Amino acid sequence: MRTEFQKIAVIGRHDDVRVADPLSVLVTHLTKNGVDVLVAEEMTLDLPASRLAEDTLADNADLIIAVGGDGTMLYAGRLASDKNVPLLGINRGRLGFLADITPDEMLSSVDHVLNGEYTRDSRMQLQATLSRANGENIAGLALNDVVLQRRETGRMVDFETRVGDHYVNTHAGDGLIIATPTGSTAYALSCGGPILEPQLDAVVIVPVCPHTLTDRPIVIPAHQPVEVRLLDRDNTKAEITLDGRSMGEICPDDRLTISAADKRITLIHPPGYDFYGILRSKLFWGRDSRKRDSQQSASGDEQ
């Protein structure tokens, strides 16, 4: 099979049997179709694939296939971020929105992609810069979200936000989420934020457990930078995370700036991809909740 994707890197948590089995099937299928498959040298599975250091996979691949949940997709995104390598996700997680191909559809969907039957989906990333009072700058990228969260304390944190040149609010609560449209269906959604269509050029700012009910989520244009400063209060400790990874502690004299990044992530979708269909599937939209509740009740009775 002739395909533009001659070298494909496959990643996943090989120590998880739910991932290991489909990962092995996928690698064997790709190899039989003449694809040069690349895997991390740490992978313990016996696979017909070339082995490379994991941080060099994107340097040598035309495509990365992530087998797992959205966490695996985010990790693949970090590998691909500087290399402009597209990603394809096989969902073996629970509530994945990024990895949209089911195991039953895996081989047929991959064949469609190998045959050039797919769409490209460009996703925004956020650039976060933590400017410390001592002049040190720490920077990083996030596909989902940048989060300020209280740390090692049972007390709320106080902080203020600015959008562009405008002061927005002084907040008190557990923290703040600044999310891309991709991240709007992640942590931000669980905190009451809106769902943003992936192609919107926008960012959502969502307070986490705000002290006042009037502190509400707000959607802003992506070109406007967001600035967050922690206010000096007794026993105040907070940290910044990028897609769940710690960026470091933020102190009252520091400044966190978040803006749309120049680099974007490209997702590959096989024919039939439908963002709204995924929402219906994951969030049970368009279904009679009474029937679902009765089915769950019957299942519980059988157990």
Q: Both ends of the chain: CA-CA distance in Å? A: 48
Q: Give the Cα separation of 256 and 250 in Å (integer).
A: 8
Q: Give the Cα separation of 148 and 168 in Å (integer).
A: 16
* Helix or strand holding residue 79 (H, E): helix 70-80
Given the DSSP bridges, would you call strands 255-260 and 126-131 parallel, antiparallel or unpaired? antiparallel
> What is the strand order of the sheet 218-221 is part of?
218-221, 202-208, 175-179, 145-150, 238-242, 245-250
Quick one: tokens of 148? 């300020």
Q: Which of 62, 70, 82, 174 is catalytic?
A: 70
Residue pair 17/44 in contact by the 8 Å Cβ criterion: no
Q: Which residues contact 63 (CB under 8 A, 6 or more apart)?
A: 5, 7, 8, 9, 85, 86, 87, 88, 113, 268
Residue pair 74/243 in contact by the 8 Å Cβ criterion: yes
Is 234 assigned a catalytic role?
A: no
Kindly give the residue spans of alpha helices, DSSP state H, lying in 181-288.
Answer: 187-190, 275-283
Instruction: Return the number of other C-beta atoms located less than 10 Å from residue 120's C-beta.
Output: 9
Residue pair 142/240 in contact by the 8 Å Cβ criterion: no
Collapsed DSSP state (helix, strand, coil) of residue 44 = coil
Active site residues: 70
